[in-house]
Amino acid sequence: MMQTEARLTGNSPAVIALGEVLWDCFPDGARFGGAPANYSCSLAELMASGSVRLLSAVGDDEQGHAAEQELLSHGVETSLLQHSSHPTGQVFVQTDSKGIASYRFAEHSAWDALQWHPELEQAARECDAVCFGTLGQRKPESAEVIRRFVAETDSGCLRILDLNLRAPWFDEDVIAASLELCNVLKVNEEELCSLAAMYGFVGSAEEQLQQFCSHLRLRCMAVTQGDSGAALSDGNQFCSCPALPVVVRDTVGAGDAFAAAMTLGLLHQEPLQTILESATQAAAFVCTQSGGTPHFPHV
């Protein structure tokens, strides 16, 4: 069993993502993105009911207005989206022959300048889950707002850290501060190796996830492993799932969709194996699409 229960009542969770919103600039054009934005769009697409909001910032520019419309088109509420004098963020994306993406982020973007407002305190205390990463904390101003927001959530809230390490925009202090705040952790296999080295943890992925769950007092921890699939542990039970055989268009947003589906399963207290399989399916679908915020098919 997970160490504590989520506080969700009924079937209409309130989820808030924190961090960057930007445009992924591919060689053939720009597509809407940013890990928290991808996560928000995927979660809103997957949820039957409830609310998904994004705490971020965009510029008063054409890309900022377009970003807000993109969020709305997926069902993401924009009441917490701030408007900044800085330009809307951009990241320049290259993909290799296997569809694996690499990123170069523009500096001094709107999402680097988040501001704290009184209504954020109430929003934090009312949400059932919050998702954040390290990239959104690359500047002290936004880092302070993100950490304060997470800290203001109540003890029953899922505090999901999707580590999302993007060199050179992180250091051990940012990682440590984020790990202290979270109760659910999602990493990829490279990030797991980095964290294990930081903490001196050794052994198999199962053993390392168990060590992290115990040491950090996590409800659960997930690791995505590319072609090898993914794994999920609550410190007692360990589940694994193979990658689904799909034709990969690109991998942008796949991890964010995984985190979104995992969030939904955790909120509804589904079995770990069910959560993992649903998250793997969501990630696989996004891999077949171009960009990180495709519309999901609804049956």
Task: Find the radius of gyration of the CA atoms of the chain.
Answer: 17
Considering the domain boundaries, does residue 299 fall inside one? no
Residue 9's pLDDT is 42
Residue 1 lies in a domain: no
Which CATH number characterizes residue 209's domain?
A: 3.40.1190.20
Kindly state the DSSP code that residue 71 receives in the 8-state scheme: H
Rounded to two decimals, what is the model's pTM? 0.92
Instruction: Give the pLDDT score at 11.
Output: 67
- Residue 132 lies inside a defined structural domain of this protein: yes
Q: Which of 238, 181, 173, 227 is nearest to 205 (CA)?
A: 238
Number of domains into which the chain is organized: 1
| Length in residues, the chain | 299
Range of the domain at 253: 14-287
Q: Is residue 3 part of a domain?
A: no
Residue 82 inside a domain? The answer is yes
Quick check: is 39 in a domain? yes
**Which residues of the chain carry a pLDDT beneath 70?**
1-11, 99, 101, 299
For 197, counting Cβ atoms within 10 Å of its Cβ (0-12 exposed, 13-18 middle, 19+ buried), the class is: exposed
Q: Does 6 map to a domain?
A: no
- Domain annotation covers residue 45: yes
Query: What is the reported pLDDT for 22?
Result: 93
**Cis status of the peptide bond prior to 36, with omega within 30 of 0:** no
